Amino acid sequence: MQEFVFNAFMTLLVVVDPLGLAPIFAALTRDFSEKRKRESALRGTLLGTAILFLFALAGDVLLEALGIGLPAFRIAGGALLFLLALDMVLARPSGMRASTVREQEEESYQQDISVFPLAIPLLAGPGAITTVLLHTGGSNTTEVALFMVVLLLVLLLTLTSLLLAPRVMCLFGETGANVLSRVLGVLLAALAVQFVLDGLKSSLA
């Protein structure tokens, strides 16, 4: 059980990437008032949480309705997370992550960013949704409950990072944030390969 909680926490921490969201959020809200920044951070995090909790609770039902077995989803999900890891390590778009900061600024300027791009796809993007389904599909009630606690903890860390975005940027700087993102990308690649191996083992058992 401790291994399940640790793996869930590390995977969510890498995929959601609270520190990595800080510079994006800071760029998107640079012309916002302090009050509007707080409101956007809170509303976006709440929306992202609601979406991810929905997938956590209805993951099994969704997979069953689509006729997808858990081993197949583990393999496919692992492959998608591996693409996300490559995106993070090589700093190139793979379609799993959002557009560049400048593109998001152009699209979101003078708009409510709490829904797009903050809640979707920065918080509840393909990588996060895949991670949620991988950890809750086929899990017992205790594991699902533990996963949701871990998910809530990571999202609280994310909200804190968004609220403290200016200070986080001063602490790490753009270079530090880039280095951290690449290190986390390597860890995510290893976790993604493990998902694929688990899926193959289950399908051949």
Global confidence as pTM = 0.75
| pLDDT band for position 9 (cuts 50, 70, 90) | very high
How do residues 99-111 score in pLDDT, each as one tens digit?
455 544 444 444 6
How do residues 140-195 score in pLDDT, each as one tens digit?
889 999 999 999 999 999 999 999 988 877 777 777 777 777 887 787 788 789 88
Instruction: Provide DSSP, 105-162.
Output: HHHHTTS-TIIIIIIIIIISSHHHHHHHHHHHTT--HHHHHHHHHHHHHHHHHHHHHH
Residue 89 near residue 150 (C-beta atoms within 8 A): no
Query: What pLDDT does residue 94 have?
Result: 54
35: part of which helix (H) or strand (E)?
helix 34-66
Query: What pLDDT does residue 72 have?
Result: 85
The CA distance from 48 to 128, in Å, is: 10
The CA distance from 18 to 2, in Å, is: 23
How do residues 17-65 score in pLDDT, each as one tens digit?
898 888 888 878 878 899 999 999 999 999 999 999 999 998 778 878 8
Backbone angles phi, psi at 140, to 5 degrees: -80, 175
Query: Which of these, 154, 153, 121, lies nearest to 19 by C-alpha position?
Result: 154
